[in-house]
Structure 1
Amino acid sequence: MTLPPVRVRAGCKFTRATAHITQEERSMGTRHLTCVVKDGDYKVAQYGQWDGYYGGAGIDILSFLREKLNREKFLANLAQTFQPDDGQIETMNATLKAAGKSVAALYPSMSRDTGGDILELIQNTIEPIPLSLDIEFAADSLFCEYAYVVDFDKGTFEVFEGYNETPLAEGERFTFLNDKTKGKYHPVRHVKTYQLDALPTDEAFLSELEPQDEDEE
């Protein structure tokens, strides 16, 4: 039986079989979004299933930006990324079925496992890679627990948190998603902005975003 192509968020596998995720697997996930803005558009909005917290994806993204980013190379490769159409998704499904391999193995840029590592993947690629933009995931902060935005227009690295029960005020990055919310949770809220040319150390980053209580020190 041929599995039908499915247009899904970046982190998910392409076929119905991927819907069978155990409750234990779900409980281990810390879902998040990694975004890149260039020329006023979201060029990357990568859903990540695991380790979205500050000490996980946050540090990974920060470290890449601070120590590995080659701006010229990254932006050149970013311009070559593409959103696959239904025919390309169908071809990917057929390839996955024939190879008996995972999305992470064959199409890591479309895998929920990649998360913030999408930045390094884009920089190091030698051929155009497919992306699935999932910007509306930021609208439901019950599930989108963290979001990280690299804005090359503004020269900033921005950090956002979920579990937000208050509609965003005008001027917040994700205010345009206010009407996409369901239930009591609203889009992820802004926490901190860093300049790309003055990024903090890992220690400073965590101390600002995860301050310890006095009785924990």
Structure 2
Amino acid sequence: MGTRHLICVFWKGRWFLAQYGQFDGYPEVQGVRVFKFLSVAQNIANLKAGLEAHVYEPTQQDLDAISAECDAWDANRRAQAQGQVSFERNMTGLQQLYPSLSRETSAGILGIVARASQAREEEEDDDDAAEGGAGKGDRKIPVCLQLGFATDTLFCEWVYVIDLDREVLEVFGGGETSHAGHRFADVEPNTGEVPAFVCSYTFSELYLLKGGDEFLAKVQEALAKNRAAQDDGEEGKDGGPTVACEGEDGEGKDEGEDDVQVGSR
């Protein structure tokens, strides 16, 4: 279903990817896809190589040319089918020729970029490539950074940030008031709202998880803690009971409990 979201990659102090996605932004779908990608160490190495060598931001002239090419692909397909083309989500010129620009690619952008670098390595090992021939590994991948969508918290429901500098995955859901130190505090347009931080995991922590179900369970646990904290805060404003901070009255985190960051960021 339509659940709008962003898949972002931050590296070398700047944003390399901010991929807008239209469908299935929930942790159950896109969140698990991101987790599975990061669970393979080689994927991260390939992603970095692809970001450095293959990704670029197209100009408006580039986008106009891409649009014309995709329109021609669609027209040709309709002509071949004599106008009887049933709706298939992935069978469009944009999805087939430039999936990196499609709203339906979502977390798949990570694999597209990583495979580009892997294809280049394979061609460099090929005798023909050694003679100077250009191949698929030399292709460039156009991407549109739609980072500003993150501050439109009415419509942007989920954001997944892969920070390659800190080797951390951050999950954001819903919105909260912008504040100093937040990941998206300086992102334009400044709407006064930013994605609400849910939880974060280092890559090392992700490697230890047994699969997507365990990752999803931890995200859901973090969401539940956030909701409980918000409810307790509202009760406190009304003069109702409040929950003691961790460690007060001799209470604290149980031994062996996972150290998951929850709350504002």
After TM superposition, the score normalised by the length of structure 2 is 0.64
Which residue is equivalent to 1:142?
Answer: 154
Deviations 1:96-116 (A, max 9, x none): 122214311111000000001
Is residue 193 of structure 1 aligned with residue 177 of structure 2? no
Between the aligned partners of 1:179 and 1:98, the Cα distance in structure 2 is 35
Between the aligned partners of 1:117 and 1:108, the Cα distance in structure 2 is 9
Query: Percent sequence identity over matched residues?
Result: 34
| Secondary structure of the structure 2 residue equivalent to 1:119 | helix
Q: Give the 3 Å change call, closer, same or farther, for CA 36–133 of structure 1 in structure 2.
A: same
Deviations 1:45-79 (A, max 9, x none): 00000110010100000001103643332211111
| Secondary structure of the structure 2 residue equivalent to 1:49 | strand
RMSD: 1.9
Between the aligned partners of 2:41 and 2:66, the Cα distance in structure 1 is 30
Is residue 72 of structure 1 aligned with residue 45 of structure 2? yes
After TM superposition, the score normalised by the length of structure 1 is 0.77
Between the aligned partners of 1:115 and 1:73, the Cα distance in structure 2 is 18
Is residue 169 of structure 1 aligned with residue 176 of structure 2? no
Query: Post-superposition shift, 1:142?
Result: 1.1
Give the number of the structure whose alpha-carbon radius of gyration is greater. Answer: 2
The code of the aligned residue for 2:10 comes to V
Query: Does the CA-based 8 Å contact 1:167-1:178 persist in structure 2?
Result: no
Which residue is equivalent to 1:133?
Answer: 145
Structure 2 residue runs without a partner (length 5+)? 75-91, 117-136, 225-265
Is residue 155 of structure 1 aligned with residue 128 of structure 2? no
| Secondary structure of the structure 1 residue equivalent to 2:30 | helix
Between the aligned partners of 1:179 and 1:37, the Cα distance in structure 2 is 19
Query: Does the CA-based 8 Å contact 1:77-1:128 persist in structure 2?
Result: no
Deviations 1:152-184 (A, max 9, x none): 11110110011x2x31332211111386217xx
Q: Which structure 2 residues correspond to residues 36-51 of structure 1 after superposition, within 5 A?
A: 36-51=9-24
Residue among 59, 65, 73 paired with 1:85: 59
Query: Post-superposition shift, 1:207?
Result: 1.6
Deviations 1:23-56 (A, max 9, x none): xxxxx30110000011111000000001100101
Between the aligned partners of 1:52 and 1:88, the Cα distance in structure 2 is 28
Q: Give the 3 Å change call, closer, same or farther, for CA 68–109 of structure 1 in structure 2.
A: farther
| Secondary structure of the structure 1 residue equivalent to 2:204 | coil
Aligned residue pairs, count:
181
The code of the aligned residue for 2:43 comes to N
Which residue is equivalent to 1:59?
Answer: 32
Query: Does the CA-based 8 Å contact 1:30-1:53 persist in structure 2?
Result: yes
Query: Does the CA-based 8 Å contact 1:168-1:189 persist in structure 2?
Result: no
Between the aligned partners of 2:40 and 2:49, the Cα distance in structure 1 is 19
Structure 1 residue runs without a partner (length 5+)? 1-27
Structure with higher helix content: 2
